[in-house]
Amino acid sequence: MVFASVVVCQVEKLICMPISFAVFAFLFMACAMEVVLLKMTTSDPVFGRPPDDGDEAGDDESEEQIYYENLGNNYEHWARRRMRFHQRHQQQLQQEESQRQQLLV
């Protein structure tokens, strides 16, 4: 939700600026590739490796799964921290606005 509003704001900024279509297309392509790479590295692989015969195959797969779970947890952790920061910032702005209103009255 926060990401969508940031993207919309950035697109509006780009549309208002005198910028060539080629630069806008390049920026769009770069953002799309970043999203694809993020999805590829944080989600389960679509085409997994075939299971090997042996004891080490299970260990490798479990380590890989733990790695991807940790990536997902890190992303969620930073997303929650960013959301809390923005909420605190909004509260501070609201408090400052209410203080200004009280001073004017």
CA distance 90 to 34: 29
Check whether residue 35 and residue 67 sit in a common domain: no
* Residue 33: both structure tokens together: 């590739």
Check whether residue 27 and residue 4 sit in a common domain: yes
| Residue 6 pLDDT class (50, 70, 90 cuts) | low
Last residue of a domain, one of 47, 66, 83: 47
Angle between helical axes of 21-42 and 56-104 (0-180°, round to 10): 130
63-104 per-position pLDDT tens digit: 777 777 777 777 787 888 889 999 999 999 999 999 988 888
Q: How many domains does the chain have?
A: 2
Decide: 101 and 17 in contact? Cβ < 8 Å. no
Check whether residue 38 and residue 80 sit in a common domain: no
Check whether residue 37 and residue 65 sit in a common domain: no
Check whether residue 2 and residue 32 sit in a common domain: yes
Decide: 3 and 31 in contact? Cβ < 8 Å. no
Range of the domain at 87: 56-105
> What is the predicted pLDDT for the residue at 3?
62
Check whether residue 3 and residue 34 sit in a common domain: yes
